[in-house]
Amino acid sequence: MKKKIIVTGGTGFIGSHTVVELMEAGFGVVIFDDLRNSDIGVLDKIEKITGHKPDFEQVDLSNQVATEAVVSKHADAVACIHFAALKAVGESVENPLLYYRNNLFSLINLLQAFRPHSDTAFIFSSSATVYGQPDKLPIDESSPVVPANSPYGNTKQMAEEILQQSVEAGTIKSAISLRYFNPIGAHSSALIGELPKGLPNNLMPFITQTAAGIRPDLKVFGKDYKTADGTAVRDYIHVVDVAQAHVVALNRILDEKSKAAYEVFNLGTGMGFSVLDVIKSFEKTSGLKLKYHFAERRPGDVEQIYADTSLANEELGWKAQFNLDDMTSSAWNWEKNLRGIK
């Protein structure tokens, strides 16, 4: 029997890539998702890549009764990887209660449902937003968690605290929070990638949709940051690198190699790239000239942030393998395949 892993938000961008890596590593997967920001057709794409379709449960995890029922149905799962969350910084500033209700209630309901199954390993999809605007760079895991710049970032900070305290209380036996920076790119098959419903909030799908003619042009938010070219700097990491890190972290818990019941690791490349760097890379790998213009800074955005990944490199034995050109070219291949562009 394959070990069963619950993946919440498994039809989403990072979730679907992680499901592929889990299945290719020999795990059985059941996805919990409400399809709010993803599509059921992703299951067929995963099947084309792996040869198997993951099990699927459509469920709103912010509903306690529904969550307890679906977890009970899959009580034989050995682990849960929790991606399901709303993630747009700007939207969270405009509608904070939506984010607190969805992101925190879903985690609390899951942890409550797992209480009778406390041996279930738990991996949490956290974020570099927990660091806010850092005083020094690069950021390692000992860097202070400062007041968040957005309700989204605050939900990640609060969720980590809830998870750590739940481990300390014995609600669950062990957990790892993976704080990833800015995942972009797509699977080499070009069958799965980042496809938000409606207007994209993240840079890469906005770039590819602009290049595909779906958006008239790209807005670059802010050109007066204290960076080399005035645009915001992020640590962009290939989504497949992020997905593979989840498999490594999962095996760390299952093989009982964790050094503490609750651990935290940064996932990034350790390099900062500006918005204009990403645009230049995309133009180089696609051979296209991108139409863009500058706009005002967005509320909640930090100026620059990139990771110190030594802990993940040394403790997990994981290191990002893909470079920025790999990320932009794979994202464009996904967009072209999706739109039927030759």
The tens digit of pLDDT for each residue in 6-28 reads 999 999 999 999 999 999 999 99
Whether a cis peptide bond, with omega within 30° of 0, leads into 138 is yes
Whole-number mean pLDDT of the chain? 95
pLDDT recorded at residue 209: 96
8 A C-beta contact, residue 278 and residue 220: no
pLDDT band at residue 238 under the 50/70/90 scheme:
very high
Sequence-ordered list of residues with C-beta below 8 angstroms from that of 35, at least 6 positions apart, any chain = 11, 58
Give residue for tokens 């739109």. 339
pLDDT recorded at residue 177: 98
pLDDT recorded at residue 299: 82
What are the structural domain ranges in the chain?
4-183+236-267, 186-234+270-339
**Per-residue pLDDT averaged across 206-234, rounded?**
96
> Has residue 302 got a pLDDT over 90?
no
pLDDT band at residue 160 under the 50/70/90 scheme:
very high
> Has residue 300 got a pLDDT over 80?
no
Q: CATH topology for 4-183+236-267? A: Rossmann fold (3.40.50)
| Identical fold, 4-183+236-267 and 186-234+270-339 | no
pLDDT recorded at residue 117: 87
Query: Which of 138-147, 237-246, 279-288 comes out lowest in average pLDDT?
Result: 138-147
pLDDT recorded at residue 135: 84
pTM recorded for the entire structure: 0.96
Higher-pLDDT residue of 144, 101: 101
pLDDT recorded at residue 288: 97
**Per-residue pLDDT averaged across 163-180, rounded?**
96
Please state which CATH number belongs to domain 186-234+270-339.
3.90.25.10
Both structure tokens of 313 = 């490199």
pLDDT recorded at residue 145: 87
- Cα distances from 26 to residues 2, 245, 279, in angstroms, run 7, 15, 37
Sequence-ordered list of residues with C-beta below 8 angstroms from that of 248, at least 6 positions apart, any chain = 316, 317, 318
pLDDT band at residue 279 under the 50/70/90 scheme:
very high
pLDDT recorded at residue 182: 95
pLDDT recorded at residue 146: 84
Q: Which helix (H) or strand (E) holds 280?
A: helix 275-286
% of the chain exceeding 90 in pLDDT: 88
8 A C-beta contact, residue 268 and residue 340: no
pLDDT band at residue 1 under the 50/70/90 scheme:
confident
The yes-or-no answer on residue 100 being catalytic is: no
Cα 241 from chain centre: 11
- Indicate which residue of 131, 152, 225, 306 is catalytic: 152
**Per-residue pLDDT averaged across 249-268, rounded?**
97
> Has residue 234 got a pLDDT over 90?
yes
Give residue for tokens 């969350």. 85
Please name which of 124, 139, 96 lies closest in space to residue 18, comparing C-alpha atoms. 124
pLDDT band at residue 196 under the 50/70/90 scheme:
confident
pLDDT band at residue 213 under the 50/70/90 scheme:
very high
> Has residue 247 got a pLDDT over 80?
yes
Query: Which of 102-116, 142-156, 327-341 comes out lowest in average pLDDT?
Result: 142-156
Q: Which helix (H) or strand (E) holds 178?
A: strand 175-180
The β-bridge relationship of strands 273-274 and 233-234 is antiparallel
Please name which of 7, 142, 173, 157 lies closest in space to residue 74, comparing C-alpha atoms. 7
Both structure tokens of 298 = 């967005």
**Per-residue pLDDT averaged across 136-153, rounded?**
90
Both structure tokens of 331 = 């994202």
pLDDT band at residue 217 under the 50/70/90 scheme:
very high
Phi-psi region of 262 (alpha: psi -120 to 50; beta: other; left: phi over 0): beta
